[in-house]
Structure 1
Amino acid sequence: MRPRRYPSDTTDEEWLLLEPLLPVPACRTRKGGRPEKHHRRDIVDAIRYITDNGAKWRALPADFPPYQTVFGFFSRWARTGVLNQIRDQLRRAVRLRASRCPNPVTGVIDSQSVRAAATVTGRSRSYDAGKRVGGRKRHLVVDTLGLLMGIMVTPAGQPDGDTARELLARLRMLHPQLTLVWADSAYAGGMGPPLPAPHFEDCDQTARSDRVQSPRETVDRRKIHFVADERSTQCDRLRTQALTQRSTPDRCLDHAHDQAADQEKAAGMDPKADLCATGRLMEAGA
């Protein structure tokens, strides 16, 4: 095995929890098969590295197994539901440690629209008129402890109610014990006839009465903010690397432009007009 050197690498305690949840290697089954060349822990660490840093598969460091091998394991585990089983087993362990029922019966659903990169195809992105964001929308379903139960990514312009019907139908098959889901009023528009289960309750009614968020809504928003912070950290890291690779004259030109914009703003001129004229407004919005 390779030495542990990245923050995303699994610790010995984490590996003791994850190893029993992985599929049995083919060489240990009755049918038999070729022994695996790379250790499973190195495969898991490589997947965690890609997830933590937001890098491309081809940019995987050389001390990991080849990216083709790592992506092959990841795609097979995702296709066969291994990753979902690991998530569910870990959630059960956390709930049991907190003296809760291992299978949650109450959930919270919420969504967040995020800007998409320029490389995202037009079929998977749209404009959210309510949030004034063009890109994608992620829908999260968590239990009352904030532990993830389901996630779905759609274009930002797709109504929340339409997505909720599909997402809850999937959750109904995976979690038949789920009987109540808390949601805000955005999910009530396109729900149509009420689903037999799980049942919806609008947490905005509680929020409007005293102008504070309900505890159930706060749990899901805290989870969404955690996902957003992790993604923002990755984007800021990549942006910082790109800026450090730029030449000194380019950075000097940007500094001179910022000083000119401050002078125009102090003189009463609209700096946005100059940005729009030079095309930098589109760059700032991106």
Structure 2
Amino acid sequence: GRAGQAAGWLLALLLLAVSGIESANVYIPQWGFRSVERAADSPVIRRLDERRTPFSLAMVPMDERYRESMRMFALLRERHLSVFGWGGFKPLYARKIQAAVGHHDATRVHALLANIWPEPLLLVDGNDPGVAGHDLHARFPAFVRPAATNLPSDLVQLYAEVAEVIDQDDTYTLMRLKPPAPARLARRIFRTDLARRLPVVQATLRAESPTTVTVTLNRQLVATATATPGGAPFQCRLAPDALTRSVFNELDFESGTEPITLEAFRLSGQ
């Protein structure tokens, strides 16, 4: 049943998370063991491993459950965070992102991803599941959705208005989101476990004229600040009891008068 499937997926994830081997097999309920391709064989992924700044990955397309899962397993084996499913964000937010991806709504995808910390990088899989052979589909178990047939032919071009290419190889294209436009509300969401380990918020607040900014954590006031034309540094320590017991927290920077820009946001242990 569904409980057994969920337990099987969880067991596979736990086994994979503690594995440091070069290759792995994953047990999938109703299907048995399947090998996981080593993602680091891609030059893009190898260079991702060398990055020293925190990041998370949003992988597209998101239309085929089996392929999505195998990509996630492979990338998790390299200790990368994913904003979909197993990245720590509650399922509802992940479903919103997946729905926007499924509707090819690049603007909506950008708006949702831009809220997340660590910074999401868009990883476009060039092996388009929409052109997978029908013989592969015939081997899918009943609970695996078939690939979508209406995928855009050029996903990189689809997201070009909201993201820029920063790396590319024969399999993957890595894109960084363009900065959001100034707005009266700037939000960042982050995992509770990360905030407990890195409780200090650091950022720069910018506006066309000096503007008072209210900072709330999960709708509780934590600070007031000022955004300036030259960019004002902001720092505050998050109280442990203000963090949620659920999956993620919302930190809002809100101006009641004019749009602001939130730059260089990060959590640190200092």
**TM interval, short-chain normalised:** under 0.3
Q: Which has the larger radius of gyration?
A: 1
The structure carrying a bigger helix percent of its residues is 1
Determine which structure has greater relative contact order: mean sequence separation of CA pairs < 8 Å that are 6+ residues apart, divided by chain length.
Answer: 2
Q: TM-score, normalised by structure 1?
A: 0.27
The structure carrying a bigger strand percent of its residues is 2
